[in-house]
Amino acid sequence: MNPHVAIVKPLENFELLLTFTSGEQRIFDAKPYLDKGVFKRLREKNCFMGARVVSGSVEWPGEIDLSYDTLYLESQPFSSQIAA
């Protein structure tokens, strides 16, 4: 079982800096989702930047969400070089 998201920080390049309940930090690239279904709404920067943690997953306005499993499995370990 993967850890839940504890903290989300949306980044300017449509990525999320995620801190999981395990203490691990990872980067999730949302760009591949921006051409799919309801996720197209996240192309609007204000909407994307409205990400928040709800029940261990990430949710945006309009009830757009991604599960903690998806966020963990499709993210990369955080390195300060990535965020720079």
Q: Do you know the residue count of the chain? A: 84
pLDDT by residue (tens digit) across 32-74? 999 999 999 999 999 999 999 999 999 999 989 999 999 999 9
Residue type, 54: V
Distances (CA, A) of 9 to 1, 37: 23, 23
CATH of domain 5-83: 3.30.2020.10
Instruction: Please state the pTM of the whole predicted model.
Output: 0.90
